[in-house]
Amino acid sequence: MTSPPVQGAQVVSRVASLLRIVGRRPEGSPLAELVRETGLTRPTVHRLLSSLAAEGLLDQDPLSGNWVLGPEVLLMGSVASARFPLEDIARPSLRRLAEETGESAFFSIRRGAETVCLLREEELPGAVLCSARGSPFPARGGLRRHRHHGVPARGGAGGAAGGWAAHAGDFAAAHTEALVRENLAKTRQAGYSVNPGLVLEGSWGMGAAVFDQRGRPAWALSLTGIEPRFKGERQEMLGRLLMDEAHRISTLLQGR
């Protein structure tokens, strides 16, 4: 049974989805994973992949068989980086945050229901902190891409609440709809978000939005560390530092 032809906006959406999935990891993705995650038929996915490869947007690794980003994406990225020189704009803020707080600082971009970590700055090279239970673990982050939880990627609470269980996946148990709404309300009031160890017990995080030229929340600054260092008055201090640096980066981006 052959798949019907895909036209118009639908094909653009499907192509974008494939590129995002393939771009998650340097080693790319196998065909089976792309079929599973897109929900498309195998013939449709293969046809789209072949078309993208013909345009240089994707390649197929000869050893693993995985689909990986192609050379045309590199060229596009180099042009886009000239418009958003994020290394120059965001890195100083990350360094200040890491130095002033002693925590790990991250700069991420929003992509649908996920975020992609673009830059990070560690508190101390090779530092090992202790969790609330006393067991040592590295304070480093390292996840390039992850789902939004606690503070959803979608603009408002209504957009996140609809089908929330499907959106949150395995995290839905700890991130109930009621808790998400509560966190959203607190974020609007404080100006920054707090993740009180909902993803990893004992590991807390805080974030503040960075706005693009149209005033939309497109990026984020965040801090992660162990629970005792994110409570009380220190939490308020960390929030102020995050918002100050987020405002600084937003101003620089909007001024370009």
Q: In order of start, what are the domains of the chain with their CATH numbers?
A: 8-75 (1.10.10.10), 84-255 (3.30.450.40)
The pLDDT assigned to 243 comes to 95
Check residue 57 and give its pLDDT.
94
What pLDDT does residue 215 have?
87
Tokens standing for residue 1? 């049974």
List the one residue out of 198, 185, 191 whose CA is nearest residue 242.
191
CA distance 34 to 28: 10
pLDDT digits (tens, 9 = 90+) for 147-204: 443 333 333 322 333 466 666 666 667 677 788 788 888 888 999 998 888 777 788 8
CB 213 within 8 A of CB 255: no
Residue pair 104/225 in contact by the 8 Å Cβ criterion? yes
Residue by residue, pLDDT tens for the chain (256 residues) are 455 555 678 889 999 999 989 988 889 999 999 999 999 999 999 999 999 999 999 999 999 999 999 999 988 887 877 777 888 899 999 999 999 999 999 999 877 666 788 899 986 544 333 323 233 333 333 334 444 433 333 333 223 334 666 666 666 676 777 887 888 888 889 999 988 887 777 888 999 999 988 888 889 999 999 999 998 899 999 999 999 999 999 999 887 5
* CA-CA-CA-CA dihedral for 130, 132, 137, 141, to nearest 10: -110
pLDDT at residue number 179: 82
> What is the per-residue pLDDT for 58?
95
pTM for this entry: 0.65
